[in-house]
Structure 1
Amino acid sequence: MKLNKLIGIGTLLALLAAVLFVPSINAGMNKNELPESENHEGNRQEIKNIIFMVPDGMGLADVTAARIYKNGTGGAPLNFETLENIGYQRTYSANSIITDSAAAGSAWACGEKFNNGEICYHLDGKPYNPSILELAKAEGKATGLVATSTITHATPAVFGSHVKSRSCENEIARQYVEVTGVDVMLGGGIEKFNSTKPDKCGTSGDFVAEAAQKGYSVVYTKAGMDSAVADGTVKLLGLFNNSGMTPEYLRMTGTKEPRLPEMTSAALDIMEKDRYGFFLMVEGSQVDWANHDNNLKYQIGETLAFDEAVKVVLDWINASPERKEHTLLIVVPDHETGGFAINGPDRLLKAGESMDAGWTSKEHTGEDTVIWSQGPGSRALGRSVDNTDLYGVMVKAIEQQHT
C-alpha cells in the first residue's frame, strides 16, 4: 500500500496491527515477542526519535582496519563500537543468498523480504507494508535522509519511495517530493532531480523547481546548507554533486561539498525542532563502493567519516537527558562487500602504519552483519535476528506512543 497523504491515528494503528502479523519469508523473531522498552522504574518508555545509520557494505574486518589505522592495535574503539547493545543480522533477500542494497534496505524499511533490485515494491503485485519513514511521517514526525551517494540511491530510496527497480532514480526523486514529502534530503544526485531523459520507470522532470514551490530551501554547497539551517528552514533539499559525492580520500581543501558529519549535524539541527520527534536515516554510502574497488585508502576514509557522523549523533543525544531517554539509535550495515580480511605482519602495528589486507572478490558477500544499538527498544537487537526484524523494533517504537 502507498501512503499518499497523512493518515489518521485510527488508520495508522490499524496499519501497525497489520504489520505486526504480516509473515515474511523465513523471518526471525516474532514481532509480538520483542522486549518492551523500559526505563529505570520498569515502565514503558516513549521513543520520540529514531536515528538509523548505515555504513553500506561494511564488514567486521573493515571496523578492525579503521580502528587500527586511527588508534593503533590496542587503541580505543570507534564511536559506534561504544553503543550499549551488539547483535547481528541475516541479510539474504527473497531470491538470493547474496542481497543487494535495494532488497536489504527494503527489509529494514518495510519489514519484508524483497527480490534484489526492488525498492519496497513487489513486481509480482503482492501488497507491501508502508515504510517506517511513512509511518513516522503519518505521526507528524520530521523525516530525513542523508547519504554520500545520490540521495535517490538504493538505501535511502527504500525509506521514501516504492518503485519496481533501483534504476528508477528520477521516479524516486519525484516520489520524495510529490508523494512522501521527506523533510530533509542531503546528498548527491542533481541529475536525478532535474532530468530530461526518462529513467527505467519512464520518469523525468524538474523536481528541484517543484521542491522549491513546495517550500523547500534548495542548496548546492556547504555554505548554502549552513545558511539555510541558520535561517531556520524546516524543509531542506541539499544536492551537492551531479552524481555521488566526492570520496573522503580525494577531497581537496576548500571543497564546496559538506562531509557526512556536517550533513548529519545540519539534519539534526533542523529536525530537532519538531515537537513530535523525527526519523532520520544516515548512510555512509561509499564504504561499499570502496570495497567494490578493493581500495583500502578509500575504505578507511569512508569508514572513519561515517564514525565521525556517529559521534555527531552521540554528542547530540548526550547533550540532553531527555534526548538520551527518548532516542533509539541503530547502526547496521546492509551487507558486507568484497570479503575483506586483514593479514600479517606478525607484530603489532602503530596508528597510521600500513597493514597487509585484501579482498576475496569485488562483489557482495552473504555474511551476517553486526548491529550496534542503544536507547529504548534496543535490547531486542542484542541477539541474532533477521534483517526484517529491525522494522518490527522501529514499528513498536512508534506504536508505544499510543499505549
Structure 2
Amino acid sequence: MGRRSDGRDLTKEWQEKFDRAAYVTSADELNALDLSKVDHLLGLFEPSHMKFESDRQKDEAGEPSLAEMTSTAIDILSRDEDGFFLMVEGGRIDHAHHDGNAKRALKDGQAFAQAVQMALSKVDLDNTLILVTADHSHVFTIAGYPTRGNPILGLSVPPAKDGSPGTEPALAEDGKPYTTLGYWTGPGAVTGERPLVTSEEAQDLDYHQQAAIPTEWENHGGEDVALFAAGPWSHLVGGVIEQNVIYHIMDYAMGLSEDQSSD
C-alpha cells in the first residue's frame, strides 16, 4: 500500500481490472512467468528508483536487467497484430552523472546498450523502427591525451615521447596528476588545494570524478546529442535536426496522422 492514507491497494486493483494480468516484484518472479498466459504485466521492483547496474549485479535476488525487461516487453507486445510502441529508458545514467560518479554512469550506459542489442535481436527490422537517443548531454569531459590502453576511469597517463605507451601520469600546474574523466561542475570539486588521487582511488565505484566548480549536483550540458535509427523510415534520420522532428518521424513511420498519405 506504500504511503497511501486511504488504504487502497492499486496493484491489486490493477490486476483485477484485466484478464491474464501478472504483477511481479523481483527478477525471479519475472523469469518464472509463463508469458503465454500473460497479456498485461506490471513490474514494480523498488519503492523508488531502481538500482544502478553496478549495484544491481551485487544483488542476486532482486531486479531484472534493463535488457531482460526489454526482452519480456517485446515478447508480450509483439503478439499484437496491430503492432506496438515501446519506450525503454536507461534513466539512471543521468542520476550517476549528476552525482559526478562516472563509473556508475558508464556501467549503466553499457546496460542500456545491451537493452538496445536485445531489442535488435528480437524484432524484424523490415517492419520495426528503432530509435536511440538521449534527452540531453552532461558537462562530462575527457582530457590529458591518455595513452592507448590507459584505464578510462584512472589517472591520465600520456604516451611517452617516442610514442610508446606511457607509464607516468600527466601533472597539472599544481604538480599533481588528474583523472582522464572529469566534470565541469559537481560534488567532486574542492575548494582550496586539490587532494592527491591515485589511479586505484579514481577507479573505485563510489569515487566522485574531479570537477572544476563545486556544486551539490553536476549539471546538464548544452551540446547536440546523437540520434541513431534502424528499420523503416530510418533514412529520415540524418544531419542536424530539431528534437520535435523525432515525433514526426515516429508519427510518419506508424501512420498515425489522419491526413497522412497511405504510402
TM-score (normalizing by structure 2): 0.70
In structure 2, the residue matched to 1:335 is: 136
Once the two structures are superposed, residues 356-383 of structure 1 have per-residue CA deviations (whole angstroms, 9 ceiling, x without a partner) of: 1101120122221110111111111112
Query: Greater Rg, structure 1 or structure 2?
Result: 2
1:344, CA displacement in angstroms?
Answer: 2.2
1:277, CA displacement in angstroms?
Answer: 1.1
Once the two structures are superposed, residues 159-190 of structure 1 have per-residue CA deviations (whole angstroms, 9 ceiling, x without a partner) of: xxxxxxxxxxxxxxxxxxxxxxxxxxxxxxxx
Q: Residues 352 and 367 from structure 1, CA distance in 2 versus in 1: closer, same or farther, beyond 3 angstroms? A: closer
Once the two structures are superposed, residues 32-69 of structure 1 have per-residue CA deviations (whole angstroms, 9 ceiling, x without a partner) of: xxxxxxxxxxxxxxxxxxxxxxxxxxxxxxxxxxxxxx
In structure 2, the residue matched to 1:370 is: 226
Q: Secondary structure at the match of 2:88?
A: strand
Q: Secondary structure at the match of 1:263?
A: helix
Asked if 2 retains the 8 angstrom alpha-carbon contact of 1:217 and 1:233, the reply is yes
Rounded Cα–Cα distance in structure 1 between residues aligned with 2:261 and 2:112 = 30
State the AA in 2 paired with 1:280: L
> Is 2:40 the counterpart of 1:235?
yes
1:228, CA displacement in angstroms?
Answer: 2.7
- The within-5 A match list for 1:176-195 is 194-195=2-3
Rounded Cα–Cα distance in structure 2 between residues aligned with 1:326 and 1:303 = 27
Aligned length: 200
State the AA in 2 paired with 1:360: W
Asked if 2 retains the 8 angstrom alpha-carbon contact of 1:234 and 1:270, the reply is yes
RCO greater where, 1 or 2, for CA within 8 Å and sep 6 or more?
1
State the AA in 1 paired with 2:129: L
State the AA in 2 paired with 1:230: L
Q: Tell me which of 260, 273, 278 is aligned to 2:66.
A: 260
1:299, CA displacement in angstroms?
Answer: 0.8
Rounded Cα–Cα distance in structure 1 between residues aligned with 2:51 and 2:244 = 32
Asked if 2 retains the 8 angstrom alpha-carbon contact of 1:229 and 1:266, the reply is no
* Alpha-carbon RMSD: 2.3
Q: Secondary structure at the match of 1:364?
A: coil
Q: Tell me which of 106, 125, 128 is aligned to 1:300.
A: 106
Q: Secondary structure at the match of 2:79?
A: coil
- The within-5 A match list for 1:207-286 is 207-215=10-18, 216-251=21-56, 252-286=58-92
Gaps of 5+ in 1: 1-190, 199-203, 318-322
Percent of matched pairs sharing the same residue: 32
Rounded Cα–Cα distance in structure 2 between residues aligned with 1:314 and 1:232 = 25
Q: Secondary structure at the match of 2:86?
A: strand
> Is 2:183 the counterpart of 1:359?
yes
Gaps of 5+ in 2: 156-179, 186-217
In structure 2, the residue matched to 1:344 is: 144
- The within-5 A match list for 1:36-47 is none
1:226, CA displacement in angstroms?
Answer: 2.1
Report which of the two has the higher share of helix.
1
1:345, CA displacement in angstroms?
Answer: 4.5
Asked if 2 retains the 8 angstrom alpha-carbon contact of 1:195 and 1:205, the reply is no
